Structure 1
Amino acid sequence: MTSTADAATRPEAGKASGRPGRTNTKHASQRIGGGLGTRIAPYLFVAPAFIVVFVFVILAAINTFRLAFTDSTLLKPGKFVGFQNFIDLFHDEYFLTALLNSSLYVVCVVPFMVILPLILANLVKGNGRIMGFFRTAFYMPVVMSAVVVGMIWTNLLDSQGLINSILKGAGIINDAIPFLTNRWGILFSSMFVTIWLGLGYYMVIYLTALANIDESLYEAASLDGAGPVRQFVSVTMPGVRSTMVLIMMLSTISAFRVFNEVYVLTNGTAGPGGMDMTMSMLIKNEGTGIQARTGYASAISLVVLVIVGALLVIQQIIQKRGED
């Protein structure tokens, strides 16, 4: 009887002992699969952005570097020519003109881009409705399209435009100011438009930096007899020094690579005789169209990269010496 009872209970014991084994295996596989999925999920989320950056930025940059040392055109791959493209650049009148114009753009625009938005931000940093209105109004040009900006300023600066009409009507001038017909008139008008467009954008960056300055510093300066100008120089500017350096870098890159303003105001002609050509416009002219010289345009792009990189390094050196 004992053996029969044991025999009868063995299958049940076997079943009972088998269930936990299968259950544990199932849970273990779920844990392994869940852990693997958790590790892979972040990479799957960033994969589309990484693919886009890899194809359109990294591969494009590598291809530009390769093409810069060839005589490639749009219709033929070309052959390796070494540094010939770079030698030809410094004998190209259009390149030298574009280099001069872009360099002048940096020298004339960047100081205004660093100082004027800071002054503007300091004036509109309050919380009232009127300050909110002014902040919105100053930021409005940032969201305008290049076509709208071009139409506005072309109508204002034309020989028969609003500005010349007002000046003539007031008897201040007899002949129209050649804002859009003279080489230097076009260049400095484009600089003014660039500053007008950038004021609101950099103002917002400065507003964030100003919010982090301790108000007690202003109170202490006021007790010491410092007026608004002295407080601005002694408290505000040191408090946003790192932001000023950031904006200097951003505006330097934007100014040297300027395209839209000059292109729109000259209707794509780069001024009389192409004398208002900038580096970005030259790259566009040389690198597009049926007769595009892609190798030559790539060489210009590399020169722009080197110059902008050198400017940023110089700014960093100046900043570090100022801090020391």
Structure 2
Amino acid sequence: MPHRRWWSPYLFLAPGLAAVLLFSLWPFVNTVVLSLTDARVLEGGSFVGLANYRRALADPDFWLAAANSVLYLLVVVPCLVVLPLGLAVLVRREVPGIGLFRSAFYTPVIASAVVVGLVWQWLLRSDGAVNAVLVRLRLVTEPVPFLTDSTLLLVSAMIVTVWKGLGYYMVFYLAALGNVPGALYEAAALDGAGPVRRFTSITVPSVKPMMLLVGTLSAISALRVFTEIYVLGGESGGPGGGARTLPFLIRQVGLGFAGETGYASALSLLLFLLTLAFSLLGRRLTKGDEA
């Protein structure tokens, strides 16, 4: 019977393999092929070799979008590595009502990114709540252009990303903290170590592998950011497109009946390579930590 049914395991693997081939591998291969053509949405295009990549490397819009994406990563990732850890330490304590706070911190995670963006747009616009408070407290004499200045728009989008990701990565750290033996904290307290010393000497080293994982995941998410920029800055990506990231630029290039599918595919692969580089960097750091 076992010899007659050697193919049984493959039947279980077939649906998953088919889904991977259809929705992951084939689109990737197709993107690589399209990146070597001058294809448009309604045209098949012809083979142009590496012309799209040379065009991208000579395109100021590409370098601006790439710089914004990397800047986004450099600001957002440290915040999403450190702040959720502090939050997890606080909500881990068993005090009355702590479950309510845990739920409140996690609520932005399950909320739609578009809804979150619209809420923050209402808060940050010129006649929004934040400017109203700042003007009322006389901290500013006129509304701050959070959404009409490219730099401030990018910063505002970063704040939204961090705010929405706090609860998500807090859960990661709560799982890691649950594996830290309580005896370590008790021994440190008996030795006279204060809360700060216990945090730096016990908590941080114990969750360091999780910190590296969170850093890698948040870096990938930061490089893929689109919704925050689109909702806060509109279809142009802020004044003159100054706050555009690489995913935003890819959408603009490939959108519409006149969309340049080939060039958008080349930009997508450049974004893939950038993401892969940071992923490999995170993996290398993780291996170094385990060693």
Settle same-fold status: TM greater than 0.5: yes
Q: Kindly tell me: are residues 221 and 176 of structure 1, through their superposed partners in 2, closer, same or farther at Cα, counting changes over 3 Å?
A: same
Distance across 2 between alignment mates of 1:322 and 1:143: 32
The aligned residue for residue 237 of structure 2 is 270
Report how far residue 36 of structure 1 moved. 5.0
Report how far residue 319 of structure 1 moved. 4.5
Distance across 2 between alignment mates of 1:42 and 1:211: 36
TM (normalized to structure 2)?
0.95
2:73 pairs with 1:106: yes
Distance across 2 between alignment mates of 1:319 and 1:53: 27
Q: Kindly tell me: are residues 156 and 316 of structure 1, through their superposed partners in 2, closer, same or farther at Cα, counting changes over 3 Å?
A: same
2:24 pairs with 1:57: yes
Query: For residues 211-250 of structure 1, what are the structure 2 equivalents within 5 Å?
Result: 211-250=178-217
Of 66, 73, 83, the residue aligned with 1:116 is: 83
The aligned residue for residue 120 of structure 2 is 153
- Contact map agreement 2:114 2:227 (CA 8 A) in 1: no
Distance across 1 between alignment mates of 2:179 and 2:193: 21
2:14 pairs with 1:47: yes
Q: Kindly tell me: are residues 78 and 46 of structure 1, through their superposed partners in 2, closer, same or farther at Cα, counting changes over 3 Å?
A: same
Larger Rg: 1
* Paired residue total: 291
Report how far residue 49 of structure 1 moved. 3.1
Report how far residue 314 of structure 1 moved. 2.6
Distance across 1 between alignment mates of 2:120 and 2:109: 15
Of 99, 116, 139, the residue aligned with 2:106 is: 139
Report how far residue 125 of structure 1 moved. 0.9
Unaligned runs of 5+ in 2: none
Of 250, 256, 260, the residue aligned with 2:223 is: 256
- Contact map agreement 2:117 2:160 (CA 8 A) in 1: no
The aligned residue for residue 182 of structure 1 is 149
Q: Kindly tell me: are residues 96 and 158 of structure 1, through their superposed partners in 2, closer, same or farther at Cα, counting changes over 3 Å?
A: same
Unaligned runs of 5+ in 1: 1-31
Report how far residue 173 of structure 1 moved. 1.0
- Contact map agreement 1:146 1:264 (CA 8 A) in 2: no
AA partner of residue 204 (structure 1)? V
Report how far residue 46 of structure 1 moved. 4.1
TM (normalized to structure 1)?
0.85
Computed over aligned residues only, the root mean square deviation of the Cα atoms, in angstroms, reads 1.8
Query: For residues 160-179 of structure 1, what are the structure 2 equivalents within 5 Å?
Result: 160-179=127-146
Q: 1:92-142 CA distances to partner (integer Å, 9 max, x unpaired)?
A: 121111001001001111000100000000100134451211111000000
Query: For residues 2-21 of structure 1, what are the structure 2 equivalents within 5 Å?
Result: none
- Contact map agreement 2:209 2:289 (CA 8 A) in 1: no
Percent of residue pairs bearing the same amino acid type: 45
SS at match of 1:72: coil
The aligned residue for residue 265 of structure 2 is 298
Distance across 1 between alignment mates of 2:187 and 2:88: 21
SS at match of 1:95: helix
Distance across 2 between alignment mates of 1:268 and 1:147: 14
- Contact map agreement 2:213 2:282 (CA 8 A) in 1: no
- Contact map agreement 1:206 1:240 (CA 8 A) in 2: yes
Distance across 1 between alignment mates of 2:257 and 2:97: 54
AA partner of residue 220 (structure 1)? A
SS at match of 1:258: coil
2:82 pairs with 1:86: no
Report how far residue 35 of structure 1 moved. 7.5
